[in-house]
Amino acid sequence: MSKEIVKLDDVCVCYGAIRALQGVSLSVEEGAIVALIGSNGAGKTTLLNALSGLVPVQSGHIFLRGEEITNEKPHIIAQRRIAHVPEGRKIFSELTVEENLRIGAYTQYKNKAKIEQLLHMNFELFPILAERRKQMGGSLSGGEQQMLAIARGLMSEPDIILLDEPSLGIAPIMVEHIFEFIRQINASGKTIILVEQNANLALETASYVYVLETGRIVNENTSDVLIHDDTIQKVYLGL
Ligand code: ATP
Protein backbone atom coordinates (compact mmCIF):
# COMPACT_ATOMS: atom_id res chain seq x y z
CA MET A 1 0.00 0.00 0.00
CA SER A 2 1.26 3.51 -0.85
CA LYS A 3 2.22 5.83 1.93
CA GLU A 4 1.20 9.45 2.29
CA ILE A 5 4.30 11.63 1.97
CA VAL A 6 2.79 15.15 1.97
CA LYS A 7 -0.41 16.35 3.57
CA LEU A 8 -1.99 19.79 3.72
CA ASP A 9 -4.74 20.27 6.25
CA ASP A 10 -6.98 23.35 5.95
CA VAL A 11 -4.12 25.63 4.88
CA CYS A 12 -4.76 29.38 4.56
CA VAL A 13 -2.34 31.94 3.10
CA CYS A 14 -3.09 35.65 2.76
CA TYR A 15 -1.17 38.49 1.15
CA GLY A 16 -2.64 41.39 3.10
CA ALA A 17 -6.33 41.40 2.18
CA ILE A 18 -5.88 38.84 -0.63
CA ARG A 19 -6.83 35.33 0.49
CA ALA A 20 -4.67 33.26 -1.85
CA LEU A 21 -5.35 29.89 -0.15
CA GLN A 22 -8.61 29.46 1.74
CA GLY A 23 -8.58 26.17 3.62
CA VAL A 24 -6.77 23.84 1.23
CA SER A 25 -6.45 20.17 2.19
CA LEU A 26 -4.70 17.63 0.02
CA SER A 27 -2.72 14.45 0.19
CA VAL A 28 0.16 13.15 -1.93
CA GLU A 29 1.25 9.52 -1.98
CA GLU A 30 4.91 8.61 -2.07
CA GLY A 31 6.10 7.99 -5.63
CA ALA A 32 3.12 9.70 -7.28
CA ILE A 33 2.90 12.54 -9.75
CA VAL A 34 0.18 14.83 -8.46
CA ALA A 35 -0.85 17.87 -10.49
CA LEU A 36 -2.50 21.13 -9.50
CA ILE A 37 -4.44 22.86 -12.24
CA GLY A 38 -6.52 26.03 -12.23
CA SER A 39 -6.68 29.40 -13.91
CA ASN A 40 -4.41 32.40 -13.29
CA GLY A 41 -4.43 33.54 -9.70
CA ALA A 42 -6.05 30.32 -8.41
CA GLY A 43 -3.30 29.90 -5.79
CA LYS A 44 -1.17 27.15 -7.35
CA THR A 45 2.17 28.91 -6.96
CA THR A 46 1.21 30.02 -3.47
CA LEU A 47 0.55 26.39 -2.53
CA LEU A 48 4.04 25.34 -3.67
CA ASN A 49 5.55 28.36 -1.90
CA ALA A 50 3.75 27.45 1.32
CA LEU A 51 5.08 23.89 1.05
CA SER A 52 8.67 25.03 0.61
CA GLY A 53 8.45 27.68 3.32
CA LEU A 54 8.62 30.70 1.00
CA VAL A 55 5.38 32.26 2.19
CA PRO A 56 3.96 32.18 5.72
CA VAL A 57 0.95 29.99 6.43
CA GLN A 58 -1.62 31.85 8.56
CA SER A 59 -3.57 28.78 9.65
CA GLY A 60 -3.73 25.07 8.95
CA HIS A 61 -0.95 22.49 8.87
CA ILE A 62 1.53 20.97 6.43
CA PHE A 63 2.97 17.53 7.14
CA LEU A 64 5.89 15.70 5.58
CA ARG A 65 5.79 11.96 6.33
CA GLY A 66 3.50 12.75 9.24
CA GLU A 67 5.79 15.38 10.78
CA GLU A 68 4.64 18.97 10.84
CA ILE A 69 6.71 21.34 8.67
CA THR A 70 4.32 24.32 8.65
CA ASN A 71 6.29 27.58 8.50
CA GLU A 72 9.68 25.87 8.71
CA LYS A 73 12.48 27.89 7.12
CA PRO A 74 13.06 27.15 3.40
CA HIS A 75 16.59 25.81 3.98
CA ILE A 76 15.31 23.37 6.60
CA ILE A 77 12.61 22.16 4.20
CA ALA A 78 15.26 21.75 1.47
CA GLN A 79 17.35 19.67 3.88
CA ARG A 80 14.28 17.53 4.40
CA ARG A 81 14.50 16.61 0.75
CA ILE A 82 11.95 18.85 -0.90
CA ALA A 83 13.29 20.66 -3.99
CA HIS A 84 11.40 23.58 -5.53
CA VAL A 85 11.84 24.32 -9.23
CA PRO A 86 10.24 27.77 -9.47
CA GLU A 87 8.07 29.28 -12.16
CA GLY A 88 10.22 31.14 -14.67
CA ARG A 89 13.15 28.80 -13.90
CA LYS A 90 15.24 31.47 -12.07
CA ILE A 91 18.57 30.13 -13.18
CA PHE A 92 21.69 32.28 -12.77
CA SER A 93 22.30 33.68 -16.28
CA GLU A 94 25.81 34.90 -15.49
CA LEU A 95 26.99 31.56 -14.16
CA THR A 96 27.84 28.51 -16.24
CA VAL A 97 25.61 25.47 -16.45
CA GLU A 98 27.97 23.58 -14.16
CA GLU A 99 28.09 26.43 -11.61
CA ASN A 100 24.28 26.59 -11.59
CA LEU A 101 24.21 22.87 -10.83
CA ARG A 102 26.83 23.10 -8.09
CA ILE A 103 24.76 25.80 -6.36
CA GLY A 104 21.83 23.34 -6.34
CA ALA A 105 23.96 21.00 -4.22
CA TYR A 106 24.25 23.42 -1.31
CA THR A 107 22.55 20.97 1.03
CA GLN A 108 25.47 18.58 0.33
CA TYR A 109 28.24 21.16 0.67
CA LYS A 110 30.27 19.02 3.09
CA ASN A 111 30.28 15.99 0.81
CA LYS A 112 32.43 16.75 -2.26
CA ALA A 113 32.29 13.18 -3.60
CA LYS A 114 28.51 13.25 -3.44
CA ILE A 115 28.39 16.51 -5.40
CA GLU A 116 30.55 15.00 -8.17
CA GLN A 117 28.32 11.93 -8.22
CA LEU A 118 25.15 14.05 -8.51
CA LEU A 119 26.74 16.17 -11.23
CA HIS A 120 27.62 13.02 -13.17
CA MET A 121 24.09 11.66 -12.73
CA ASN A 122 22.56 14.88 -14.05
CA PHE A 123 24.88 15.01 -17.04
CA GLU A 124 23.86 11.43 -17.87
CA LEU A 125 20.18 12.28 -17.54
CA PHE A 126 20.47 15.56 -19.49
CA PRO A 127 23.28 15.09 -22.08
CA ILE A 128 22.57 18.55 -23.53
CA LEU A 129 23.63 20.07 -20.19
CA ALA A 130 26.86 18.05 -20.27
CA GLU A 131 27.57 19.45 -23.74
CA ARG A 132 26.87 22.97 -22.52
CA ARG A 133 28.45 22.70 -19.08
CA LYS A 134 30.85 25.64 -19.64
CA GLN A 135 28.22 27.86 -21.29
CA MET A 136 26.52 30.69 -19.41
CA GLY A 137 23.05 29.76 -18.15
CA GLY A 138 21.61 32.83 -19.89
CA SER A 139 22.79 31.60 -23.30
CA LEU A 140 20.62 28.45 -23.17
CA SER A 141 17.22 28.18 -24.89
CA GLY A 142 14.08 28.33 -22.72
CA GLY A 143 13.73 24.54 -22.81
CA GLU A 144 17.38 23.99 -21.89
CA GLN A 145 17.04 26.48 -19.04
CA GLN A 146 14.04 24.51 -17.78
CA MET A 147 16.13 21.31 -17.89
CA LEU A 148 18.87 23.14 -15.99
CA ALA A 149 16.36 24.31 -13.36
CA ILE A 150 15.09 20.73 -12.89
CA ALA A 151 18.64 19.35 -12.79
CA ARG A 152 19.61 22.01 -10.24
CA GLY A 153 16.69 20.81 -8.10
CA LEU A 154 17.91 17.22 -8.42
CA MET A 155 21.36 18.26 -7.14
CA SER A 156 19.93 18.45 -3.61
CA GLU A 157 18.97 14.76 -3.90
CA PRO A 158 15.31 15.38 -3.12
CA ASP A 159 12.59 12.83 -2.48
CA ILE A 160 9.93 15.34 -3.56
CA ILE A 161 10.18 17.82 -6.42
CA LEU A 162 7.84 20.79 -6.72
CA LEU A 163 7.63 21.83 -10.38
CA ASP A 164 5.98 25.18 -11.12
CA GLU A 165 4.78 25.52 -14.73
CA PRO A 166 7.60 23.63 -16.44
CA SER A 167 5.95 24.07 -19.87
CA LEU A 168 5.57 27.85 -19.66
CA GLY A 169 7.05 29.72 -22.63
CA ILE A 170 8.74 26.65 -24.08
CA ALA A 171 8.55 25.34 -27.65
CA PRO A 172 6.12 22.37 -27.93
CA ILE A 173 8.78 19.87 -29.01
CA MET A 174 10.91 20.81 -25.99
CA VAL A 175 7.87 20.51 -23.72
CA GLU A 176 7.55 16.87 -24.84
CA HIS A 177 11.19 16.22 -23.95
CA ILE A 178 10.85 17.92 -20.57
CA PHE A 179 7.77 15.90 -19.67
CA GLU A 180 9.57 12.73 -20.73
CA PHE A 181 12.34 13.66 -18.25
CA ILE A 182 9.72 14.35 -15.58
CA ARG A 183 8.31 10.84 -16.07
CA GLN A 184 11.82 9.35 -15.93
CA ILE A 185 12.63 11.22 -12.72
CA ASN A 186 9.37 9.96 -11.22
CA ALA A 187 10.15 6.39 -12.37
CA SER A 188 13.43 6.65 -10.44
CA GLY A 189 11.33 6.94 -7.27
CA LYS A 190 10.84 10.65 -6.74
CA THR A 191 7.45 12.10 -5.85
CA ILE A 192 6.41 15.03 -8.04
CA ILE A 193 3.98 17.85 -7.33
CA LEU A 194 3.35 19.58 -10.62
CA VAL A 195 1.68 22.95 -11.16
CA GLU A 196 0.61 23.14 -14.76
CA GLN A 197 -1.74 25.48 -16.62
CA ASN A 198 -1.81 23.14 -19.59
CA ALA A 199 -4.51 20.81 -18.26
CA ASN A 200 -4.01 18.32 -21.07
CA LEU A 201 -0.38 17.85 -20.11
CA ALA A 202 -1.22 17.68 -16.42
CA LEU A 203 -3.88 15.01 -16.94
CA GLU A 204 -1.61 12.99 -19.22
CA THR A 205 1.29 13.10 -16.77
CA ALA A 206 -0.20 12.94 -13.28
CA SER A 207 -2.01 10.06 -11.66
CA TYR A 208 -4.09 12.35 -9.42
CA VAL A 209 -5.16 15.95 -10.05
CA TYR A 210 -6.45 18.74 -7.82
CA VAL A 211 -8.35 21.66 -9.37
CA LEU A 212 -7.87 25.00 -7.59
CA GLU A 213 -10.08 28.04 -8.05
CA THR A 214 -9.73 31.28 -6.07
CA GLY A 215 -7.77 29.58 -3.33
CA ARG A 216 -9.98 26.53 -2.88
CA ILE A 217 -9.94 22.99 -4.18
CA VAL A 218 -13.08 22.68 -6.29
CA ASN A 219 -12.48 19.22 -7.75
CA GLU A 220 -10.06 16.33 -7.37
CA ASN A 221 -9.76 12.84 -8.72
CA THR A 222 -7.59 10.42 -10.66
CA SER A 223 -6.67 11.70 -14.13
CA ASP A 224 -8.61 8.84 -15.73
CA VAL A 225 -11.79 10.08 -14.11
CA LEU A 226 -11.18 13.84 -14.47
CA ILE A 227 -10.43 13.58 -18.17
CA HIS A 228 -14.09 12.55 -18.68
CA ASP A 229 -15.50 15.23 -16.35
CA ASP A 230 -17.79 17.67 -18.23
CA THR A 231 -16.56 20.83 -16.48
CA ILE A 232 -12.92 19.85 -16.91
CA GLN A 233 -13.51 19.18 -20.59
CA LYS A 234 -15.30 22.52 -21.13
CA VAL A 235 -13.26 24.82 -18.91
CA TYR A 236 -9.78 23.32 -19.06
CA LEU A 237 -9.58 21.18 -22.17
CA GLY A 238 -11.67 23.39 -24.51
CA LEU A 239 -13.72 20.40 -25.73
P1 ATP B 1 -0.49 31.97 -11.97
O2 ATP B 1 -0.68 30.80 -12.83
O3 ATP B 1 -0.97 33.26 -12.60
O4 ATP B 1 0.87 32.09 -11.37
P5 ATP B 1 -1.47 30.86 -9.50
O6 ATP B 1 -2.59 29.90 -9.53
O7 ATP B 1 -0.10 30.30 -9.34
O8 ATP B 1 -1.53 31.78 -10.78
P9 ATP B 1 -0.82 32.55 -7.27
O10 ATP B 1 0.36 33.14 -7.99
O11 ATP B 1 -0.58 31.63 -6.18
O12 ATP B 1 -1.79 31.87 -8.34
O13 ATP B 1 -1.72 33.77 -6.78
C14 ATP B 1 -2.88 33.60 -5.95
C15 ATP B 1 -3.44 34.98 -5.59
O16 ATP B 1 -2.51 35.66 -4.73
C17 ATP B 1 -3.65 35.90 -6.77
O18 ATP B 1 -4.79 36.69 -6.50
C19 ATP B 1 -2.41 36.75 -6.80
O20 ATP B 1 -2.65 37.99 -7.40
C21 ATP B 1 -2.09 36.87 -5.33
N22 ATP B 1 -0.65 37.00 -5.06
C23 ATP B 1 0.31 36.11 -5.39
N24 ATP B 1 1.53 36.51 -4.94
C25 ATP B 1 1.31 37.68 -4.30
C26 ATP B 1 2.16 38.60 -3.60
N27 ATP B 1 3.46 38.36 -3.45
N28 ATP B 1 1.60 39.70 -3.08
C29 ATP B 1 0.26 39.94 -3.19
N30 ATP B 1 -0.59 39.11 -3.83
C31 ATP B 1 -0.08 38.00 -4.38
Report the alpha-carbon distance of residue 199 to residue 203 in Å, rounded. Answer: 6
Q: At what angle do helices 142-154 and 112-125 cross, to 10 degrees?
A: 140
Report the alpha-carbon distance of residue 60 to residue 11 in Å, rounded. Answer: 4
Domain regions of the chain by residue span: 1-75+160-169+191-239, 82-157
- pLDDT higher than 80, residue 237: no
Q: Burial of 162 by CB count in 10 Å (0-12 exposed, 13-18 middle, 19+ buried)?
A: buried
Is the distance from CB of 13 to CB of 58 less than 8 angstroms? yes
Dihedral of alpha carbons 116, 122, 123, 128, sign: negative
CB atoms near residue 61 (< 10 Å): 15
Higher pLDDT, 12 or 168: 12
Q: Which atom of ligand 1 is nearest to the CA of 212?
A: 6
127 CA from centroid of ligand 1 (Å):
35
Is the distance from CB of 42 to CB of 60 less than 8 angstroms? no
Q: Burial of 69 by CB count in 10 Å (0-12 exposed, 13-18 middle, 19+ buried)?
A: buried
What lies within 8 Å, CB to CB, of 86 at 6+ separation is 149, 164
Q: What is the mean pLDDT of residues 40-46?
A: 94
Report the alpha-carbon distance of residue 219 to residue 51 in Å, rounded. Answer: 20
102: confidence class by pLDDT, cuts 50, 70, 90: very high
pLDDT at 239: 61
- How does 216-231 read in b/e, with b if 16+ C-beta sit within 10 Å? ebebbeebeebbebee
φ, ψ dihedrals at 187, nearest 5°: -65, -25
pLDDT at 1: 57
H or E, element range at 217: strand 216-222
pLDDT at 235: 82
Report the alpha-carbon distance of residue 105 to residue 231 in Å, rounded. Answer: 42
CATH superfamily of the 1-75+160-169+191-239 domain: P-loop containing nucleotide triphosphate hydrolases (3.40.50.300)
- How does 110-145 read in b/e, with b if 16+ C-beta sit within 10 Å? eeeeebeebbeebbebbeebeebeeebbeebeebbb
Q: Which atom of ligand 1 is nearest to the CA of 21?
A: 14
pLDDT at 220: 95
- pLDDT higher than 60, residue 77: yes
Q: Which residue lies with its CA nearest to atom 16 of ligand 1?
A: 20
Q: Which of 8, 22, 24, 46 to mutate to test the pocket of ligand 1 (most atoms within 8 A of CB)?
A: 46
Reported as a single tens digit per residue, the pLDDT across 104-119 is 887 777 788 889 999 9
How far CA 140 is from CA of 88, 121, 151, in Å, comes to 14, 20, 14
Whole-model pTM: value is 0.93
Reported as a single tens digit per residue, the pLDDT across 134-175 is 999 999 999 999 999 999 999 999 999 999 999 988 888 889
Is the distance from CB of 70 to CB of 61 less than 8 angstroms? yes
Q: Which residue lies with its CA nearest to atom 2 of ligand 1?
A: 40
Q: Which atom of ligand 1 is nearest to the CA of 45?
A: 7
Q: What is the mean pLDDT of the chain?
A: 92
